Structure 1
């Protein structure tokens, strides 16, 4: 029995679809998007490893400032910004393009035409990002958080995205059937939200800068909404697709899904303003941000309830499936990070957490524990169907899960507990600031330890993926261009 057969039950095995016609159709759809999806996953993993190296550097520099201090291009500001963009635009966006477009194509039952252009657009996206990260390291950084990539690289990213995003829209336009699935709502909305956010922020901050506090408002509007209206809907779309698919049961409530989607769309757009509490911002605007952040409890509770009720009674299946192990971890993290985020918008809490490591821990909680863990689950489900092979090592999957789960948990706890203590001490005029800084060092060292766990998990993931990819390539080369699979389709 293969490793993968041991960790998948019969009901969750990737080859267990009962309808041969459906399997054949899905196999054709997978074949149409295989090259582009595999390229995006390869690119995503490449950026994940690069971002991990930069993250370790930044973590060590936080408590040991002279670490690699002899190199100007490796100063803390440049390394941290390179890490942020490698992970957000490199790992995050590439894995969204891979998993999101694949899910959209499958749900729409639409093959991807002119796939060569999609592949070329992906190549240029990664070229633009490479130019941007090198620009950051050489000192051309813009010094605007989440928009650090130099001006000369952003047009490449914008054009590339336009060519990539249109594929998801076209798949939806020419879908078969009238029913629209929950995952399709989130993916389609995100494909429109991201360019709107990026273009407005670039225009108002970089290309045609607005005056005064409008820049700060735009910056936080963009930074917060990249997570809430780009990463979040794509991760939720993936979770809504994977949980019912692997368990073989429908989502608990379609109507709760509707409520969750529209509550996210209405409230999240305003939520980022709460990060400017105490700044020279109109009071009504800050209050609107606080209210919107608190109202985000609605979609969070709705989504959490929907996922929990879908899984209830099948918790053993969750643990046995690598896909659901990562996905459910991410879904639980979504509930936790969002409730903490709503609490951080309250003025009494914000005056403690603002300007502390608590906010940094909160960001990692959302981008990694929620988004990244769910996308790992998406890759574990998608790749066996694209390559017609099982994952070669169950052991590496376990190392990946536990390395990442322990690593991100330690990081979030260290930064948020340490950040809360830091905030309390900074608000105490009797405690010297340098003493407060010294007191954060043990927590920052714990963050560096968490980075080692994450690195081990990422290496296990990369080794397992490329092992699977090269094995599939070797079989394909040996068997010829057409390989019949257990799904009954052509590879």
Structure 2
């Protein structure tokens, strides 16, 4: 038999019939890949937080580190975005998402070395990319600022990860396909398509004219909507019923939510180009798709709410559910804001303002990152077979993160709306040497300062998370967790 046919024979799930694997065995077999991705993600979270603080303070104190070229605003802001996106967020997705997939498949882990190799090369690629940004090799394309030479390395790493996820699904226990598996598989197929098309049409074989701008927003918007959003929703759909010990409210509502997300979201990014030299029909299609996103959002919100209703006490006692429910509520609010911002009458105010930046943080941090925090709090005791060492650090993490991101969203949304109204008023100058005159910059500055204060709270939250995680890594091993009715009690120990 040829090596080619031999490989496909090995990955054919029909050649063997084995009983389903205990979740504790799955956790044990996933330990090394999960630890690699989680540790890498948390380190990138701290690095990205440092860049964020520097960039935030530079918005109202531009003289800060002005003579240190690697930390000029353009570079440090791009380094922050890419460290948090490709460093923290993607590593968190790989850790939590693939672990959930493995648990739901209830099969022995095969080819775990693929994940380890992919994780090493992925983080090498991100490191090279961040260094390239800080040393002046960045591009002018948002979400793709890392030097284009890094693209093939990241693509190779992701191919290994995507292949592993598909193979894991092939070897799953036959029968029911869970809601979380739909979202994870969808994201595993959507992300490489987004990344390869964007790299090709912007850098390798550049399209002409406004097609590049369309491609850029198609990629940037869909990375959030068709990569991070499905992975975040997969975590919520798995962890919410798991911790509460009750099934999700409606399987059919989940089906409607998944397919309506897949149908509408890929058009929605175009609304960010309202007013640009883009065909009107294309802009209108993007606006309609953005408004239609209300369907999957409402459906998902109903499903989540009805699954958790009557369990408020359990939500607050569980460290996992605190973050998960915060993330689920933020998903609903951020999505409604997104549909509202797509309307031309609103976009004329919010476009080119801090309001749009606030909306991005609403989705990426308040929804996705808080959800990933909840996933890690649930996952790590089962991976390491030990408790979180400090309940106080968990509380510090949650409250500083929740208050910090809440303060940031208020500052950026309110300040951004005022900025947009002022930009549309020709009588208000952007800047004036007369300190007593009302200017756009002067009115915005207090809100930018509030954003920096919120960044300090988020920094405290991330340090508390890192310290607790580091103490957990070196702590003594505890009794294995048991799934079932005792799960919530186990959660309470970490609260």
TM-score by length of structure 1 reads 0.92
What are the equivalent positions in structure 2 for 1:71-470 lying under 5 Å apart? Answer: 71-434=68-431, 435-470=439-474
Q: In the TM superposition, what whole-angstrom CA distance separates every residue of 1:352-372 from its partner, at most 9, and x where no partner exists?
A: 000000000000010000000
Aligned to 2:42: 45
Counterpart secondary structure, 2:176: coil
Cα RMSD (Å) of the superposition?
Answer: 1.2
Deviation of 1:485 after TM superposition, in Å, equals 3.2
Structure 1 Cα separation of the partners of residues 167 and 481 of structure 2: 30
Q: In the TM superposition, what whole-angstrom CA distance separates every residue of 1:365-414 from its partner, at most 9, and x where no partner exists?
A: 10000000000000000001111111111100000000100000000110
Q: In the TM superposition, what whole-angstrom CA distance separates every residue of 1:299-319 from its partner, at most 9, and x where no partner exists?
A: 000000100000001111001
Counterpart secondary structure, 2:148: coil
Q: In the TM superposition, what whole-angstrom CA distance separates every residue of 1:70-111 from its partner, at most 9, and x where no partner exists?
A: 111111010000000000100000000000000000001122
Judge conservation of contact 1:33–1:115 (CA < 8 Å) in 2: yes
Structure 2 Cα separation of the partners of residues 203 and 316 of structure 1: 50
Q: In the TM superposition, what whole-angstrom CA distance separates every residue of 1:42-87 from its partner, at most 9, and x where no partner exists?
A: 0000000000000000000011111100111111010000000000
Counterpart secondary structure, 1:152: helix
Deviation of 1:486 after TM superposition, in Å, equals 5.2
Structure 2 Cα separation of the partners of residues 31 and 394 of structure 1: 25
Judge conservation of contact 2:114–2:164 (CA < 8 Å) in 1: no
Structure 2 Cα separation of the partners of residues 366 and 116 of structure 1: 33
Structure 2 Cα separation of the partners of residues 487 and 416 of structure 1: 44
Structure 1 Cα separation of the partners of residues 286 and 189 of structure 2: 22
Counterpart secondary structure, 1:251: coil
Aligned to 2:3: none
Structure 1 Cα separation of the partners of residues 443 and 417 of structure 2: 12
Q: Which has the higher contact order (CA 8 A, sep 6+)?
A: 1
Judge conservation of contact 2:47–2:83 (CA < 8 Å) in 1: yes
Counterpart secondary structure, 1:197: helix
Counterpart secondary structure, 1:153: helix
Counterpart secondary structure, 1:304: helix
**Structure 1 stretches of at least 4 aligned residues deviating more than 2 Å after TM superposition:** 483-488
Structure 2 Cα separation of the partners of residues 461 and 214 of structure 1: 42
Counterpart secondary structure, 1:99: helix
Structure 2 Cα separation of the partners of residues 176 and 233 of structure 1: 22
Structure 2 Cα separation of the partners of residues 61 and 111 of structure 1: 50
Q: In the TM superposition, what whole-angstrom CA distance separates every residue of 1:171-230 from its partner, at most 9, and x where no partner exists?
A: 111110221000000000000100000000000001111000000000000000000000
Aligned to 2:480: 485
Q: In the TM superposition, what whole-angstrom CA distance separates every residue of 1:211-256 from its partner, at most 9, and x where no partner exists?
A: 0000000000000000000000000000000000000000000110
Q: In the TM superposition, what whole-angstrom CA distance separates every residue of 1:341-361 from its partner, at most 9, and x where no partner exists?
A: 000000000000000000000
Aligned to 2:65: 68
Judge conservation of contact 1:104–1:187 (CA < 8 Å) in 2: yes
Aligned to 1:11: none
Judge conservation of contact 1:112–1:167 (CA < 8 Å) in 2: no
Structure 1 Cα separation of the partners of residues 466 and 60 of structure 2: 29
Structure 1 Cα separation of the partners of residues 420 and 114 of structure 2: 50
Q: Which runs of 5+ in 1 are unaligned?
A: 1-20, 476-482
